Structure 1
């Protein structure tokens, strides 16, 4: 919604039909109408529930689509925080969307300068600093485990090479670390990563495990050097995990 090309549609399904406000209003309207009817009270009361049952499949598909869109948005936001652009992503952008893509990058630079939106948390400030300068003595055992690898190359906003790191990480009985850092063996933070905002429990319960392949984290390495080794640590609550996950090249 931050781009000039986005048209606000106030009556779109995501704002009206699929909202709790819509269904609550429909039920209340049915109850209000039923009080005036002697013979049709029960049919009127049941009508909103019947509509909800028949609308559920479309409702569920829209819900699923919105969650997919949120995951993609989070990945793009992580790229912006790291100031990285994937080469393959640039190549597949259709010509008619080139201007939109450039507008997004320009807007991101303004938001970064003002420390707004995804830049408000200051994760971008960690990059290039040593772990000790950011976290101090805040270390603890998190039972961190998982795997990750480099699956795409690109470049930084300053023209330096960059690499995308994707993988899965778990800690403390399968809980997910939401914020992670990618460091070299000298303890310098080379990039940050963030996990998709969906827990394994929610995935199993509400999405029938359809998001299993997407539960994980995405991050980027700035000034990527294939000769160096990198590791991933969790960094939730400004506390660094003692355990590391090696980045596979």
Structure 2
């Protein structure tokens, strides 16, 4: 999820704005300066227009300001800023009618949804693997991951010991987490002659933001979650509940005055040290899924730029009809966006006018994967794949992979798409040496060669022949 380009706004900038808003509010109390509260309001405004959940930063800042004992008259500043942003969001900006239509006021139902939503990290990382699993597709590969079988067994064991299903257990954990934060935060906010530290202010801001986000989502998405109950644990929401539990742990670690608090802090610290091992199976399973999705996206890019419509990778169903896909691709091509930002696709069908040489710097193998009829033109097309054994970095830096026929006509393009030997994308991602490509107007009696097409210059390098489908 977090490798997508748009997450730079939806997640990273929003999370940064939340942290800045909390720290600025703390500075407003420490310096007794309303200017710093104004800075916090600016951060809240940025957060609100990054993503819908950003609206939760305003109530989080106001509750934190109350705990920091800021003057009451200062609260007019975040309130007025929130009112102005809400006016823009609900009435002035495009799509405002849809935002208002999503609101559903049923407090009890929303409270249960909010607690379930906050428990999603426990579900996605552990409890959701118990029978019946949240996502059966993730269970099939889990026993093959490190500690995967043990993780699944422990989730089933929890169900047997407690006598409750995993959704009930998750709701209980969410309720315990909310209560623990409210008790801890209340002790800090109402304790006389005590002031929150910077760490406690930041931790409280993360928790308050997540709680406020849970409130907003449980009201705005209540009917949707009633129709699709499993979506309350969807991974697209996972960042915000994770912020809640992160803030709660930070808050517990910062309170070590009594013996009980020190024991709780020690338990949290031990849990944090064990967390990477506990989450290793889900990390590996998610990485496998991510690598599959990435390769599929690269195949779509290669097919689109070659001018081939492969029915195996392009959707044609209720969610996306072929006509809609073709229209979208045509618009992207017209505007030179996405995969068409690189103008090399314009050379498809043209004879290479430069020179063609061979080089022993590269070791490449390519072969046909399958043959099919183009769903758009009806002509024969081919999907090929291959591996760059040596020189992958230089190829990716110097140009891109293309296919020449016997007349040096450019009839296909390729995209680096997978890691070889087969492995999943991980945080320390190895270089992708595997590639997928397409050949347009394929003829079984023709000779096709994989070529390094330079980004600048007129000298292309012949790498290898595209071999037949391996048996």
TM-score, normalising length from structure 2? 0.41
Q: Relative to 1, partners in 2 of residues 1:31 and 1:73: Cα closer, same or farther, differing over 3 Å?
A: same
Q: Relative to 1, partners in 2 of residues 1:42 and 1:138: Cα closer, same or farther, differing over 3 Å?
A: farther
Shift of 1:109: 1.1
Give a deviation string over 1:38-79, Cα, whole Å, max 9, x none.
Answer: 332322333333344323322321222122111111112211
Please, which of 50, 54, 61 is the counterpart of residue 285 of structure 2? 61
Within 2, Cα distance between the matches of 1:14 and 1:109?
29
Within 2, Cα distance between the matches of 1:242 and 1:130?
15
Q: Relative to 1, partners in 2 of residues 1:238 and 1:171: Cα closer, same or farther, differing over 3 Å?
A: farther
Within 2, Cα distance between the matches of 1:242 and 1:31?
56
Q: Is the 8 A contact 2:366 2:465 kept in 1?
A: yes
Within 1, Cα distance between the matches of 2:418 and 2:343?
19
Q: Relative to 1, partners in 2 of residues 1:215 and 1:137: Cα closer, same or farther, differing over 3 Å?
A: closer
Which ranges in structure 2 are unaligned for 5 or more consecutive residues?
5-223, 225-230
3-state SS of the aligned residue for 2:465? strand
Residue 216 of structure 1 corresponds to: 434
Within 2, Cα distance between the matches of 1:57 and 1:161?
42
Q: Is the 8 A contact 2:415 2:436 kept in 1?
A: yes
Residue 325 of structure 2 corresponds to: 104
Within 2, Cα distance between the matches of 1:11 and 1:177?
42
Residue 16 of structure 1 corresponds to: 238
Give a deviation string over 1:4-56, Cα, whole Å, max 9, x none.
Answer: xxx9x897425535x9x947x74554233222233323223333333443233
Matches within 5 A, 1:1-249: 12-14=234-236, 16-17=238-239, 22=242, 26-27=245-246, 29-37=248-256, 38-39=258-259, 40=263, 41-86=265-310, 89=312, 96=318, 99-132=320-353, 136=354, 141=359, 142-149=361-368, 151-155=370-374, 157-172=376-391, 177-178=395-396, 179-198=400-419, 203=423, 216-235=434-453, 237-238=455-456, 241-249=460-468
Q: Is the 8 A contact 1:26 1:48 kept in 2?
A: no
Within 2, Cα distance between the matches of 1:53 and 1:85?
43
Within 2, Cα distance between the matches of 1:10 and 1:130?
54
Give a deviation string over 1:142-182, Cα, whole Å, max 9, x none.
Answer: 4243131252222274444322222223333x658443110
Q: Is the 8 A contact 1:232 1:247 kept in 2?
A: yes
Q: Is the 8 A contact 1:166 1:216 kept in 2?
A: yes
Within 2, Cα distance between the matches of 1:32 and 1:138?
64
Q: Is the 8 A contact 2:368 2:384 kept in 1?
A: yes
Q: Is the 8 A contact 2:374 2:380 kept in 1?
A: yes
Q: Is the 8 A contact 1:150 1:166 kept in 2?
A: yes
Q: Which structure: greater helix fraction?
A: 2
Within 1, Cα distance between the matches of 2:310 and 2:424?
31
Q: Aligned pairs, how many?
A: 227
Give a deviation string over 1:212-235, Cα, whole Å, max 9, x none.
Answer: xx9622211222222321111123
What's the C-alpha RMSD, in Å, of the aligned pairs? 3.9
Q: Is the 8 A contact 2:369 2:383 kept in 1?
A: yes
Give a deviation string over 1:114-147, Cα, whole Å, max 9, x none.
Answer: 1111111123112112223xxx469673424313
Within 2, Cα distance between the matches of 1:117 and 1:216?
21
Q: Is the 8 A contact 1:149 1:248 kept in 2?
A: yes
Within 1, Cα distance between the matches of 2:295 and 2:355?
33
Bigger radius of gyration: 2
Which ranges in structure 1 are unaligned for 5 or more consecutive residues?
2-6
Within 2, Cα distance between the matches of 1:77 and 1:10?
32
Shift of 1:112: 0.8
